[in-house]
Amino acid sequence: MAETRNESLAAWLAGHQMTAEELADAVNGAIGAFTGRPGTTSERTVFRWLSGENRWPQERQRRGLEIVTGLSVIALGFVPRGKSTSVPALPEDPDVHRRQFFSAAAGTAAAAAIPLASPASARPSRVGTSDVVRLRDDVERLVALDAERGGHGLEQAALDGATEALRLQKQSTTQRVRQRLFALASDFTATAAWSLIDAGQLDGAGRHLDRALTLAGLAQDSEMAMQVWNLRAMLARQRHDYPEAVASSQAAQAMAIVRRSPLHASLAHARTAVGLAHKGEVRAALGCLGRAEEALTKADLAQPRSTWISFYSPAELYSLTAIVRDVVGHPAEAEAAAHRALAALPETYRRNRAHTTARLALAQLHQDDVEQACTTSSKVFEIMAGTPLPGRMRQLLGDFQRDLIARAPSAHIAHEWMDRYRTEWSPS
């Protein structure tokens, strides 16, 4: 029977930027945690799993894989031998064991520095790939919370993650793991900055971004550096410093990851287009927008990607297009782009959906369709019901109210909108 490559396991490795050697190391650490003796899984073993030569690992390896990944071995693409072979269930949910294992590994790392009169097999788990996976999962949870309700309120959790990554970095025994922990510390710190930007609390965001850029440099990670420059462009735009917004997005374009990845190139061009639009450079803004669209057609959107850029898709490009078109005075095109964005946005991206809805309302208002604009903007509060509006969204609704007053100062519906929603969007 021909061997079939294990694409599920390969996708998991790619998504977590993990090598075969690192997976073997993590599985051995997990085995050691529940047996007291490190496993003997080798890099070659993992290659045999990937090639399909070994489609059903040993029982300890199966359990180790489930602890490390949080997935069942079936979900990882493995196939039981024979019809009578069943998948041995873990005593509890693999995610529970995984959290317990990673917590134990983190807690015992400091103890590893204390000489113990015990055999090598009983040594506490050393800092390694398992810690990288655990912290990356924490980043993913923060990103999921951001998509659901906005980044506001996540600053401290993100800074705690950065502190943990740097603590473990000092105890790591390999250069690769150290660099990955520096990259995670940069990612966490950038997330803390984004939390402040989304909350409209701009004063501390710049300090976090300075720190995140330093950590990205220590990690020698151009993608993390691009994340920082992308956020710097957003921060500068919030401050109405449009020359700095353009300069920051152009710095993002200069990162090595942009030369390798059409997805990253598309985001960098789109962010530049937004800054140029606000500077009043219409032709240059639309040119950048065109390059962003062209680059995105070349991107393989099915490929695994880093968590920080998971938000970027055709829907996000439509949203940015709506901003650019509205700012340069093309509200009809902005409205069309916003509709396309809302049609393509995943339901889980609640904050983005609300933000794009507010942009749609502005585009309609700028076409003097006051009644429709007020109806559309009211949906923002429905989408975000039960969750405080992020400061950035409140500012956008403030722009809507200002333009509403300017365009329809005596309209009954305008006054009704202001009376109804002022307390909902105004800061408490």
| Distance between CA atoms of residues 75 and 59, nearest Å | 16
What pLDDT, on a 0 to 100 scale, did the predictor assign at position 354?
94
First to last CA, the chain: 67
256 vs 83, more confident: 256
What pLDDT, on a 0 to 100 scale, did the predictor assign at position 82?
67
Query: Among 100-114, 163-177, 339-353, which range has the highest average pLDDT?
Result: 339-353
Q: How many CA atoms within 13 Å lie on the side-chain side of 396?
A: 24
At 286, list the tokens: 């639309």
326 vs 72, more confident: 326
| Distance between CA atoms of residues 195 and 149, nearest Å | 11
Rounded to 5°, the CA angle 425-390-233 comes to 125
Closest CA to 88 of 59, 56, 49: 59
Confidence of residue 147 (pLDDT cuts 50, 70, 90): confident
Instruction: Give per-residue pLDDT as tens, 264-312.
Output: 999 999 999 999 999 999 999 999 999 999 999 999 988 878 889 989 9
What pLDDT, on a 0 to 100 scale, did the predictor assign at position 425?
59
CB 311 within 8 A of CB 260: no
| Distance between CA atoms of residues 127 and 347, nearest Å | 38
What pLDDT, on a 0 to 100 scale, did the predictor assign at position 312?
95
103 vs 351, more confident: 351
Which of 32-41, 85-94, 381-390 is predicted with the least confidence, judged by mean pLDDT? Answer: 85-94
What pLDDT, on a 0 to 100 scale, did the predictor assign at position 232?
97
CB neighbours of 344 closer than 8 A, spacing ≥ 6?
313, 314, 315, 318
Tell the burial category of 386 from Cβ atoms under 10 Å away from its Cβ (0-12, 13-18, 19+).
exposed
Confidence of residue 352 (pLDDT cuts 50, 70, 90): very high
Provide the phi-psi class of 71: left if phi over 0, else alpha when psi is between -120 and 50, else beta: beta
Confidence of residue 373 (pLDDT cuts 50, 70, 90): very high
The average confidence (pLDDT) of the chain is 85
At 106, list the tokens: 């983190």
Residues 160-187, mean pLDDT to the nearest whole number: 91
Rounded to 5°, the CA angle 263-267-271 comes to 170
Query: Among 12-16, 119-123, 296-300, 416-420, which range has the highest average pLDDT?
Result: 296-300
Residues 327-331, mean pLDDT to the nearest whole number: 97
What pLDDT, on a 0 to 100 scale, did the predictor assign at position 410?
79
Dihedral sign (CA 286, 341, 361, 402): negative
Instruction: Give per-residue pLDDT as tens, 214-259.
Output: 999 999 999 999 999 999 999 999 999 999 999 999 999 999 999 9
At 148, list the tokens: 């659901």
What pLDDT, on a 0 to 100 scale, did the predictor assign at position 125?
54
CB 403 within 8 A of CB 368: no
Closest CA to 191 of 237, 254, 199, 256: 199
Say whether pLDDT at 26 is over 50.
yes
Say whether pLDDT at 118 is over 50.
no
Maximum CA pair distance of the chain? 84
